[in-house]
Structure 1
Amino acid sequence: MVSISKSLFTLLPKIKLNLNPTMSWTCSSCTFLNPPSQKSSCQICLSDSPLSISSDPSISVPKPKWPCKACTFMNPYHSISCEICGNRVSASGLATLETGDDDDDLSSSVGNVFLPLRPCNKGKVINRAPIMVQDDVKDSVRARCANAANKRKNREEPSGVEDDEVDAAMGYKGVKAAATKAIEQSDSVEQEPGKTFSTSKSKVLKILTYNVWFADIEMNKRMKAIGNLISLHKPDVICFQEVTPEIYDIFQHSGWWKMYSCSISNVMELTRGYFCMQLSKLAVKSYSCKPFSNSIMGRELCIAEIEVEKDMTLVVATSHLESPCPGPPKWDQMYSKERVQQAKEAVELLDRKQNVVFCGDMNWDDKLDGQFPPTDGWIDAWGKMKPEEIGWTYDTKSNKMLSANRTLQKRLDRIACKLQDFCITDVKMIGKDAISNLTYIKEKKVKSEVKKLTLPVLPSDHYGLLLEISTQ
């Protein structure tokens, strides 16, 4: 595991950086990972690279922060103790911040198994459950955390809220308390008094997959809306695609984040343009990632091995398979062959396990790519539970935020299951409603005239898929 103490940097605001010819960079149009080069345009779609900010004196760099080695909270530079758990910063950590030394081995864990981040335990904690506190007690967060073992209060559930109708301005404040055991876990992720998993009752788990869209269109408000969906639906496991360092930072400072362990450390996320990320409220034996050998876009398979209870393990895997990138000069870069091979490679690796959920943005096109999942013995969750519904997770007609784009309606996002001890009980689409009182301007060329359209903003260009499974 990459040492968290090496993560001595803070994220900069969303700005376009000067490209170093020795660094690879991600095209914001087609997501192609361009190799180090002196060229200033994408090798696939010829889009321009990000502009330099080296001569812009208006951009100020914020003061550095240091991550707590115990609970991972990003603390201000001037603090010598963690504002959440009270753990003191090491002298070597502050010295490195002052000198600005970089970590030369940031990606040493890529492809290896590493354990999830854990909350700080100041004392013996029994059946530690996630808690939500209201905004008016923000100043007492540290005191609550220090006494969390003895003083746990449950926040009442918000009432009268329908699916996907949470106000974008709504937010939660919480204390980080990822569960250290999964033997006793609430049916709906957030523990309720007197409600735990027991061996006499079936266990219900919720798994969410969501491409959050790395486009810089109302990013903060979109990510907050996704956070509201998480607070509403309470998934046990979350699989995100297209997470950028800025999105990671937004999520990390959200109230719901404190209830989960994360597959990505602060060090790892600083080294990449965008990536997949997994979060779990259940006990995780390990997180791992395996890069696809044929990917020119840096795509990989991310795996979380989750302990549901003693002698019962669930593997949840996610990926963002190779994206089609039609563009000049041939307009035929669909990458179907690469995508199909990646799907087969993933399924063959996961097929060794008894209970597996493989979900994510597969960029799947049934006409080009064929059947999904590509191997017998696996179930397409949406096809099984909603055979009468088309299930387009990318739809330029229903998603009015994309209505200025060329028409595209595809079931790009999929959930494939191979379950021995579980059965699928439900699957649904979330994030289909526009964010209240939020619009953006989109330019569209109509014949020879450029028109400016005012369009609504949704949480993402994709819809999320929420899977529900239970023990048989």
Structure 2
Amino acid sequence: MDRLWRGYFRRPAQVPVLRFDPGRRRWVAARETACPGHVERLTVTTYNIWFNDHHAGQRHRTIAELLSRESPDIMVFQEVTPDALAVFGEQPWIRERYRSAAAVGGRRGNYGMLLLSRVPVDTVTYTPLPTRLSRGYLTAQLTVNGELLTVVGIHLESGKASAPLRARQLERIFASQRDAENVVMLGDFNIRDSENAIIDPDYRDAWPMLRPGEPGYTEDTTINHMRFDMKDKRRHVRFDRVLTAGDAWVPESIELLGREPISAALPRVFPSDHFGVRCVLRRR
């Protein structure tokens, strides 16, 4: 059977939701409680952290330090290696405040996906996609203000030639959320603006909605010299996105993260080949 289609016959798999137990000094199964109080705003972040070994430890620690200043409510990451997962899992601020759900390694290849949430998480699943690159998506169910919120972290196939496959992957993901009332879908879509028609019209794309006329490139070799040095090729694309559907939450603000080198001593090394995206959602 063509490896491309094997994902089609796999069902969603449960992903353990963990919390850090300071007494036992390890991550253990989380027992969730209701989200305290009424929440008016949620901050969500997506970051493809680049699996490459190039200054990986320094880059991933820089991303962790950058996000510690933001303390988003919900974060999703792509291209997470076991070593990167360990870097995030050892951060005191993450251990103290976040639940963790990771689909990393094993049949998923040498990297995977991670979700970190300050909002208590009910369940998380990982669903493989039809793919040549071990791609899939995480689906997290959270209860906020007594209402269900679905957060979908995605990583679609890369490369211009994979546009038809990306369309199939995204169609499959949208179909999986057809019955969900409120959805935040974020991650590395790997789609160019010429492919925007494949986005379900029920979903709002936060960047052009909030910052029309600004390109919002998340791979930008004019700024990110490391990305240029990788392939000696110019690139300006908005691969990483935040989409919302439903009436409960609307995008209020959005910005890019990680647009500076990791240090003055390494001016051509950036936190990742992608920029992160931070979006604030307001309760309607």
TM-score range for the pair, normalised by the shorter chain length: 0.7 to 0.9
Overall identity of the aligned pairs, in %: 27
1:273 equivalent to 2:98? Answer no
Query: Which residue does the alignment assign to 2:272?
Result: 460
**Other structure's SS at 1:306 match:** strand
Cα offset, 1:319, TM superposition:
1.2
**Other structure's SS at 1:382 match:** helix
More strand, by proportion: 2
Larger Rg: 1
1:309 equivalent to 2:145? Answer yes
Q: Identify the match of residue 213 of structure 1 among 24, 46, 50.
A: 50
Summarize the Cα distance change of 1:229–1:205 in structure 2 as closer, same or farther, 3 Å threshold.
same
Cα offset, 1:115, TM superposition:
4.3
Cα offset, 1:318, TM superposition:
1.2
Maintained 8 Å contact 1:112/1:289: yes
Cα offset, 1:270, TM superposition:
5.5
Summarize the Cα distance change of 1:216–1:313 in structure 2 as closer, same or farther, 3 Å threshold.
same
**Other structure's SS at 1:403 match:** helix
Query: Which residue does the alignment assign to 1:239?
Result: 76
**d(CA) in 1 for partners of 2:123 and 2:253?**
27
Q: Identify the match of residue 390 of structure 1 among 195, 210, 215.
A: 215
Q: What letter matches 2:49 in structure 1?
A: V
Instruction: Encode CA deviations 1:137-181: one digit per residue, 9 max, x unaligned.
Output: xxxxx6xx59xxxxxxxxxxxxxxxxxxxxxxxxxxxx99x8943
Maintained 8 Å contact 2:244/2:250: no
**Other structure's SS at 1:434 match:** coil
Aligned length: 271
1:232-381 map, 5 Å: 232-258=69-95, 259-264=97-102, 269=105, 272-292=109-129, 294-310=130-146, 312-324=147-159, 334-367=161-194, 369-371=195-197, 373=199, 375-381=200-206
**Other structure's SS at 1:401 match:** helix
Q: Identify the match of residue 181 of structure 1 among 10, 33, 37.
A: 33
1:65-144 map, 5 Å: 111-120=12-21
**d(CA) in 2 for partners of 1:372 and 1:179?**
38
Maintained 8 Å contact 1:227/1:256: no
**d(CA) in 2 for partners of 1:372 and 1:279?**
28
Cα offset, 1:387, TM superposition:
0.7
Maintained 8 Å contact 1:395/1:408: yes
Gaps of 5+ in 2: 5-9
**Other structure's SS at 1:371 match:** helix
Maintained 8 Å contact 1:180/1:282: no
Summarize the Cα distance change of 1:219–1:119 in structure 2 as closer, same or farther, 3 Å threshold.
closer
Maintained 8 Å contact 2:139/2:150: yes
**d(CA) in 2 for partners of 1:206 and 1:230?**
11
Instruction: Encode CA deviations 1:194-231: one digit per residue, 9 max, x unaligned.
Output: xxx33xxx521111000001111111111111111211
> Taking CA–CA contacts closer than 8 Å with sequence separation of 6 or more, which of the two structures ends up with the larger relative contact order?
2
Q: What letter matches 1:390 in structure 2?
A: P
Query: Which residue does the alignment assign to 1:437?
Result: 264
Cα offset, 1:182, TM superposition:
4.3
**Other structure's SS at 1:228 match:** helix
- Using the size of structure 2 for normalisation, the TM-score is 0.87
Gaps of 5+ in 1: 1-32, 35-108, 121-141, 147-174, 185-196, 325-332, 440-454
Q: What letter matches 1:244 in structure 2?
A: T
More helix, by proportion: 2
**d(CA) in 2 for partners of 1:119 and 1:217?**
29
Instruction: Encode CA deviations 1:21-67: one digit per residue, 9 max, x unaligned.
Output: xxxxxxxxxxxx99xxxxxxxxxxxxxxxxxxxxxxxxxxxxxxxxx
RMSD (Å) for aligned C-alpha atoms: 2.6
- Using the size of structure 1 for normalisation, the TM-score is 0.54
